[in-house]
Amino acid sequence: METKKKSYRNSVVFSTILVMIGLVFTKGSGFLRDIFVSIKFSEDVYRDSFTLAFTIPDLFYNLLVGGAIFSTVTPYLSGQIAIGEEKKGMRTTSIFISVVSVVMITVCTLGTIFSKPIYSLYALKGGIDDETLELASSASRMLFPQIFFIMLAALSIGILNSYKRFSSTAFAPSIYNFAVLVSILIFAGNSKQQLVMTTGGILLASIVYAAFQYLVGRDKLSQIRFIFKPKDPDFIALFKRAIPILISSSIIQINVVILNYFAGQFDSGSIYGFRNASTIWQIPYGIFTVAITTVMTPMLAGYHESKKYEEASKLLSARIKSALFLMIPSAFFMAVLSVDVVKAIYQWTSSYTDTNAKTASTFLLGFTTAIITASVAHLFNQAFYAIGQTKIPLLAGTISLFLNPLFCQALIMLGVGPMSLSIAYSITNFCQMIILTVLYFRRKELAPHNMLGTIIKCFVAAAIMTGIVFVLDQIIPAQGGKITQLLIVSLKGAAAVAVYFITALIFKMEEATFWIDRFKTKLKGIKANK
């Protein structure tokens, strides 16, 4: 029995590491994209326009299908597979895909036709300037059709994750990012025509993405058929489950639109700087937290559907502890080295100035607590979706929709400045985390346990780590050429990791010993093969 548990745990860890590696490639290629955006679109108006062009298509994507793909399709199909109803699950999934595809094609067409009046909404009450809006609306005409192909790829990934085929889904998004990167390198520049040609290239990248994902998973995906039966009872039940998730996902994107509106009221370049900071804080979140939930959600759904509540509780407890163990030091590190981190990632040429870096680092500093709170909120969101309680995340999301602009406006009026936006976002995420945590703990048989000790130890270890990094930063500032700058930041990062793990080992934290044991096992395996 013990061997079986060890084998299962190793399988979970292997799957999580595999997804993490895929996300590292995805994030890395995404950063290359942002770096080349800053180089090729050297004028702030084109950077802001390019960034803004994505917001409305992304909103429609999330409103119609984005969140439902992983948070509805994956848990539903995983549950059906767990109880031996695979054929029924695939049929209902086929109907779901057929219906949302028809809706998405209609919306993409309308968005392309009416992009200009849609983007004019940003100009209300003296928001973003007319030139930026005109450029963004023109560029978005190519981005509305691309969300249809992004949807097809994401649906493919959701289905394959239900079968725990993580090796077939881990690296496809990085292929899309590299295709986008090629488009930027070939077409981008400081003119309207080049901006539109760049987004046209991104449309082609989305087609490549969808085709690749289908090819690597065609043995399972070939079971999907076009079945347009919106009145089917099983589809209606699944759709009712999906509605709160669709709204919750759209709320996330609405908050992004709101934050971009407020960012447009500050100096030129603020929209792009805000995106830089948003991208950076989501490095640990996007790699570690998303990887953990990607593997956890289908497993948790299977446990819940099979009524294995104790196993579900243990799984969620372990995943939250793992996330906190990684997220808390990440937040502390970015807080103490916010300027260095921004410069290391984005400042490759003189077109990305110290002023640009300072703008992004200001936003990043306000985002640091969101690294922790958004991670915990995301874990509980996915846990609720896995057990079929989709209305509670909707409640928390709806509250955030009102709180986010309220906090933004209040902090701006208090004179906090650009950092108001990221601080408001962090406070909003904290409120969401509290709501979700309190409501999930009402299900005592599913609730995580023994969390307080891990949280305290993580914060103490991170505080010690931060003190050491701060002293290093005073002794060795990140100055000189680009290579020197990267080496110094890397040195501080390595020191941070070493100090944090040593402190965690002194505290006898299971998370630290587990990952070190895994590393030792891999080294022994490598030596044995030589």
Tell me, yes or no, whether 129 lies in a domain. yes
Question: What domain range includes position 88?
Answer: 2-449
Does residue 65 register a pLDDT over 80? no
pLDDT at 23: 62
Does residue 26 register a pLDDT over 90? no
pLDDT at 203: 93
Tell me, yes or no, whether 460 lies in a domain. no
Supply the DSSP symbol for 87: H
pLDDT at 320: 93
Per-residue confidence band for 500, with pLDDT thresholds at 50, 70 and 90: very high
Per-residue confidence band for 12, with pLDDT thresholds at 50, 70 and 90: low
Buried b or exposed e, range 275-290, using 16+ CB within 10 angstroms = bbbbbbbbbbbbbbbb
Average pLDDT over residues 427-441: 93
Alpha-carbon distance of 69 to 156, in angstroms, equals 9
Per-residue confidence band for 200, with pLDDT thresholds at 50, 70 and 90: very high
| CA neighbor of 407 nearest in space, from 188, 258, 284 | 258
Average pLDDT of the chain is 83
Tell me, yes or no, whether 526 lies in a domain. no
Average pLDDT over residues 185-208: 90
DSSP state string for 440-499: HTTSTTT---S-HHHHHHHHHHHHHHHHHHHHHHHHS-S-SSHHHHHHHHHHHHHHHHHH
Per-residue confidence band for 1, with pLDDT thresholds at 50, 70 and 90: very low
Tell me, yes or no, whether 309 lies in a domain. yes
Q: What would the pLDDT profile of 172-192 be if each residue is shown by its tens digit?
A: 788 888 888 888 888 988 889
Average pLDDT over residues 485-509: 91
CA triple 14-15-18, angle to 5 deg: 85
Alpha-carbon distance of 336 to 324, in angstroms, equals 18
Tell me, yes or no, whether 492 lies in a domain. no
pLDDT at 31: 66
Tokens 């992009």 locate to 115
Do the Cβ atoms of 209 and 179 come closer than 8 Å? yes
Per-residue confidence band for 439, with pLDDT thresholds at 50, 70 and 90: very high
Buried b or exposed e, range 342-351, using 16+ CB within 10 angstroms = bbbbbbeeee
* Number of domains within the chain: 1
Alpha-carbon distance of 392 to 385, in angstroms, equals 9
Cβ neighbours of residue 5 closer than 8 Å, sequence gap 6 or more: none
pLDDT at 8: 47
Does residue 17 register a pLDDT over 80? no
Alpha-carbon distance of 223 to 235, in angstroms, equals 17
Percent of the chain with pLDDT over 70: 87
Min mean pLDDT across 214-218, 269-273, 380-384, 445-449 is at 269-273
Q: Centre a 10 Å sphere on the Cβ of residue 193 and count the other Cβ atoms it contains.
A: 10
CA triple 413-415-420, angle to 5 deg: 80
**Tokens at residue 424, please?**
């408001």
Q: What would the pLDDT profile of 485-496 be if each residue is shown by its tens digit?
A: 889 989 999 999
**pLDDT, greater one: 511 or 250:** 511
pLDDT at 431: 94
Does residue 139 register a pLDDT over 70? yes
pLDDT at 517: 65
Q: What would the pLDDT profile of 299-337 be if each residue is shown by its tens digit?
A: 888 888 888 999 999 999 989 998 999 999 999 999 999
**Tokens at residue 502, please?**
């040593």
Tell me, yes or no, whether 458 lies in a domain. no
Average pLDDT over residues 293-297: 83
**pLDDT, greater one: 520 or 5:** 520
**In the chain, helix, strand, coil percent, each to 5?**
85, 0, 15
Alpha-carbon distance of 469 to 93, in angstroms, equals 50
**Tokens at residue 12, please?**
């979970």
Tell me, yes or no, whether 332 lies in a domain. yes
